[in-house]
Amino acid sequence: MGISLIGSSCSCGNKYRFLDDTTYNNDKFPNPDPSNFKITYIKEIDDYTIVEVEYPDCTNYEGKKILVYKAKKKDILKEKKLDPHFCDGEHLFPIARFIPTVEGMDMAHKFVYSLNKSK
């Protein structure tokens, strides 16, 4: 969880590169199913939206993810797939992830407020 500095596991089928230039294909890692999710919390703050999502087939952190999107709440709610991974693809993807705890949720709010403050 948290900000990834070494790559991504986006479901859009791309290969990703680690900082040391080794590559991996995302289908080798167990990932949450982007089409099997439940939004348990969502809050839009200006241009950003904080979302807590549960992925029932994901095992770490009981499948919970705290994600920040540069998107409106209405756009997130109409998504049929919600991939929690960073990506350069055409689909909606988060700009940040936080550990799914009370502290992580607090950090997500502080992050979004800081982005809006710097406008």
For the chain, domain boundaries? 31-117
Whether 19 has a pLDDT exceeding 80, the answer reads no
Instruction: Round to whole Å and give the CA distance between 23 and 65.
Output: 25
Between residues 47 and 12, which one has the greater pLDDT?
Answer: 47
pLDDT attached to residue 90: 73
CB 10 within 8 Å of CB 26: yes
What DSSP state is assigned to residue 56?
Answer: T
Mean pLDDT of 79-97: 86
Report the SS3 class of residue 53. Answer: strand
Contacts (Cβ under 8 Å, ≥6 apart) of 40? 52, 53, 54, 64
Between residues 48 and 60, which one has the greater pLDDT?
Answer: 48
